[in-house]
């Protein structure tokens, strides 16, 4: 990362002085949890394409699917495991031996094993505490015997009774789970709560325990919670590309990695030059749209309409926190109601139009009039026409 292209000042550096820089890996669950987004369905070939894109981003682990419940997932896992990706490929299973066997039968050597642990989830599923404890012990032991490296995944961890949380995770550990996923299923945890719960988990499981954090975004805290988890000692952050997922979505892996890299100076291994093209292609496959001002991947991050800002366009660090080149995307000027004289000059330079500056006020007036009448931006072709018409009058 070329830090001369990051213009965030010194406040963060001062505030973080003396703190050790954490190490963290990224675990992508776009193919499983991301596909749970309403109306989204990936076929096996699409899952392979997405896995390849995620792998090229530098993500360390990819959750390929949930084979027990989907023939498409089984086929996708076969394709992905045969693709020679650099990332470690993981499966997903409920705390049921048949689920775990479906993962093992595909040759996967790493898998999440999940079980509900909050009172609300247990009540909804009609499962007692003792029954779920037995299921976890049986499934984890079975997975370990199959040669699977198990990460236990406690669904709705952040709403679980703390005493039961401790009992559950220790049961998973004693049964052979090697890693532990703390899951904010309904995204109810504040960053402070995430910090607290990970601290408790490390006290109960050991300071060297490998802990994941799996967050969602119902209150818009997905990235903040993930950062808190990293600072509290989480080794892996689970999430999806663009935060795709059901309800308000999952934690957004590229956004989290970008924040860690630029604001915390944590090396993430992400290839940020590929993030925007990956997002664009995923949107095409899944059929969703993002707000144009979305961080990292939004269409308007480096596009300026406002005249006062356009007047500073020649000094990017005055109006942007980092260079657009970090994301391999251009900057641009658009014309509309809020444009100013500087906008005219920049657009003329961009389009190679020779227009004298004494024409700018008249052109600006015409641009504003057209934009207001159309209730939108003025296109480059419309601007060329305005310039041509003004030249003829002159």
Q: Is residue 249 part of a domain?
A: yes
Q: Is residue 17 part of a domain?
A: yes
Q: Is residue 2 part of a domain?
A: no
Do residues 394 and 360 touch, judged by C-beta distance below 8 A? Answer: no
In 3D, which of 97, 114, 205 has the Cα closest to residue 157? Answer: 114
Same domain for 229 and 361: no
Element containing residue 10 per DSSP (H, E): none
Q: Is residue 172 part of a domain?
A: yes
Please compute, for residue 318, the number of CA atoms within 13 A of its CA located in the half-sphere on the CB side. 9
Model pLDDT, residue 150 = 98
Model pLDDT, residue 390 = 74
Do residues 19 and 335 touch, judged by C-beta distance below 8 A? Answer: no
Model pLDDT, residue 385 = 93
Please compute, for residue 368, the number of CA atoms within 13 A of its CA located in the half-sphere on the CB side. 14
Element containing residue 47 per DSSP (H, E): helix 44-57
348-386 per-residue burial string, b: 16 or more CB within 10 A, e: under 16? beeeeeebeeebbeebbebbbebbeeeeebbeeebbeeb
Q: Is residue 52 part of a domain?
A: yes
Q: Is residue 292 part of a domain?
A: no
Give the integer Cα–Cα distance in Å for 380 and 81: 47
Same domain for 255 and 377: no
Helix intervals (H) in 206-246: 222-232
The full DSSP string for 242-257 is GG--STT-B-BHHHHH
Number of domains in the chain: 2
Give the integer Cα–Cα distance in Å for 245 and 298: 18
CATH number for the domain spanning 225: value is 3.20.20.70
Q: How far apart are the first and last CA of the chain?
A: 51
Give the integer Cα–Cα distance in Å for 9 and 252: 25
Same domain for 354 and 313: yes
3-state SS assignment for residue 340: coil
Range of the domain at 378: 303-393
Model pLDDT, residue 391 = 67
Spell out the SS3 assignment of 282-339.
HHHHHCCCCCCCCCCCCCCCCEECCHHHHCCCCCHHHHCCECHHHHCCCCEECECCCC
Specify the pTM. Answer: 0.94
Same domain for 323 and 276: no
Q: Is residue 293 part of a domain?
A: no
Q: Which long-range contacts (CB under 8 A, 24 or more apart) does 13-16 make?
A: 13/265, 16/264
Same domain for 309 and 258: no
pLDDT tens readout for residues 361-380: 999 999 999 999 999 999 99
Residue 367 φ then ψ, to 5°: -60, -50
Model pLDDT, residue 335 = 96
Q: Cα–Cα–Cα angle for 274, 306, 319, nearest 5°?
A: 50
The domain boundary, picked from 286, 315, 340, lies at 286
Find all residues with CB under 8 Å of 6, minimum gap 6, and list them: 262, 321, 322, 323, 326
Model pLDDT, residue 394 = 46
Same domain for 341 and 225: no
Same domain for 44 and 135: yes
Do residues 183 and 156 touch, judged by C-beta distance below 8 A? Answer: yes
Same domain for 363 and 221: no
Same domain for 249 and 180: yes
Same domain for 148 and 29: yes
Q: Is residue 295 part of a domain?
A: no
Find all residues with CB under 8 Å of 246, minimum gap 6, and list them: 33, 36, 37, 38
Find all residues with CB under 8 Å of 127, minimum gap 6, and list them: 116, 135
List the chain residues with pLDDT less than 70: 391-394
Q: Cα–Cα–Cα angle for 95, 100, 104, nearest 5°?
A: 165
Same domain for 167 and 111: yes
pLDDT tens readout for residues 5-18: 999 999 999 999 99
Any idea which residue has 């609300």 for tokens? 120
Same domain for 197 and 150: yes
């Amino acid at each position: 990362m070329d830090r001369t292209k990051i213009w965030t000042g010194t406040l963060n550096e001062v505030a973080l002085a003396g703190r050790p820089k954490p190490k963290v890996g990224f675990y992508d669950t776009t193919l499983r949890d991301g596909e749970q987004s309403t109306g989204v369905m990936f076929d096996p070939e699409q899952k392979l394409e997405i896995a390849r894109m995620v792998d090229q981003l530098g993500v360390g682990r990819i959750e390929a699917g949930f084979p027990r419940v989907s023939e498409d997932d089984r086929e996708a896992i076969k394709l992905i495991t045969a693709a020679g990706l650099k990332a470690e490929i993981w499966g997903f299973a409920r705390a049921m031996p048949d689920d775990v066997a479906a993962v093992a039968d595909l040759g996967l050597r790493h898998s999440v094993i999940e079980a509900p642990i909050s009172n609300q989830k247990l009540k909804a599923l009609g499962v007692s505490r003792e029954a779920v404890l037995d299921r976890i012990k049986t499934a984890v032991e079975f997975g370990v015997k199959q040669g699977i490296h198990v990460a236990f995944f406690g669904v709705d961890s952040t709403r679980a009774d703390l005493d039961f949380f401790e009992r559950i995770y220790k049961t998973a550990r004693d049964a052979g789970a090697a890693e532990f996923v703390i899951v904010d299923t309904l995204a109810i945890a504040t960053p402070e709560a995430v910090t607290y719960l990970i601290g408790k988990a490390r006290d109960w499981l050991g300071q060297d325990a490998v802990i994941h954090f799996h967050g969602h975004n119902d209150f818009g805290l997905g990235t903040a919670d993930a950062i808190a988890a990293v600072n509290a000692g989480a080794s892996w952050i689970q999430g999806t590309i663009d935060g795709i997922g059901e309800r308000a979505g999952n934690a957004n892996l590229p956004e989290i990695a970008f924040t860690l890299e630029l604001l915390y100076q944590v090396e993430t291994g992400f290839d940020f030059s590929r993030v925007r093209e990956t997002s664009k292609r995923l949107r095409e496959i899944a059929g969703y749209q993002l707000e144009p001002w979305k961080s990292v991947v939004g269409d308007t991050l480096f596009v300026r309409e406002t005249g006062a800002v356009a007047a500073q366009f020649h000094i990017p660090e005055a109006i942007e926190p980092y260079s657009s080149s970090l994301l391999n995307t251009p900057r641009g000027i658009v014309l509309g109601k809020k444009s100013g004289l500087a906008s005219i000059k920049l657009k003329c330079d961009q389009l190679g139009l020779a227009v004298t500056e004494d024409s700018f006020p008249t052109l600006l007036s015409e641009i504003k009039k057209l934009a207001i009448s159309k209730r939108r931006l003025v296109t480059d072709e419309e601007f060329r026409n305005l310039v041509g018409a003004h030249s003829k009058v002159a």
